[in-house]
Amino acid sequence: MINHILSEFTKLKMIMSQKSFNVLFLCTGNSARSIMAEAILQRLGADRFMAFSAGSKPRGKVNPFAIELLKSKDFKTNAFRSKSWDEFAGSDAPSLDFVFTVCGRAANETCPIWNGQAITAHWGIDDPDQPTLSDDEQRELFKKAYEVLEHRLKLFMLLPLDNLEESDLQNELKKIGNAFP
CATH code at 132? Answer: 3.40.50.2300
**1 domain residue, yes or no:** no
110 band by pLDDT with thresholds 50, 70 and 90: low
Q: What is the pLDDT of residue 21?
A: 96
Q: Is the pLDDT of residue 5 over 60?
A: no
Look up 30 and say whether it is catalytic: no
**55 domain residue, yes or no:** yes
Structural domain boundaries enclosing 149:
22-176
Q: Active site residue: 44, 111, 155, 169, which one?
A: 111
**51 domain residue, yes or no:** yes
Please, are residues 66 and 35 in contact by the beta-carbon 8 Å criterion? yes
Whole-structure pTM value = 0.86
Structural domains in the chain (count): 1
Look up 111 and say whether it is catalytic: yes
For 154-179, how does the pLDDT look when each residue is reduced to its tens digit (9 = 90+)? 999 999 998 999 999 999 999 999 99
Compute the distance between CA of residue 84 and CA of residue 93 in angstroms, rounded to an integer. Answer: 12
Q: Active site residue: 23, 24, 26, 27, which one?
A: 27
Taking residues 15-42, report their average pLDDT.
89
Task: State the DSSP H helix or E strand holding residue 132, giving kind and residue range, or none if neither.
Answer: none
**3 domain residue, yes or no:** no
Q: What is the pLDDT of residue 13?
A: 44
Look up 98 and say whether it is catalytic: no
Q: Active site residue: 37, 103, 118, 161, which one?
A: 103
- Secondary structure class of 124 (helix, strand, coil): coil
Q: How many C-beta atoms surround the C-beta of residue 26 within 10 A? A: 27
Q: What is the pLDDT of residue 91?
A: 84
Burial class for 112, CB neighbours closer than 10 Å (0-12, 13-18, 19+):
middle
**158 domain residue, yes or no:** yes
Q: Is the pLDDT of residue 131 over 50?
A: yes
Tell me what the pLDDT averaged over the chain comes to.
88
Q: How many C-beta atoms surround the C-beta of residue 104 within 10 A? A: 14
**88 domain residue, yes or no:** yes
- φ, ψ dihedrals at 54, nearest 5°: -165, 170
107 band by pLDDT with thresholds 50, 70 and 90: low
Q: How many C-beta atoms surround the C-beta of residue 72 within 10 A? A: 11
Taking residues 29-40, report their average pLDDT.
96
Alpha carbon 31 to chain centroid, angstroms: 13
Compute the distance between CA of residue 28 and CA of residue 31 in angstroms, rounded to an integer. Answer: 8
Q: Is the pLDDT of residue 111 over 80?
A: no
**143 domain residue, yes or no:** yes
**5 domain residue, yes or no:** no
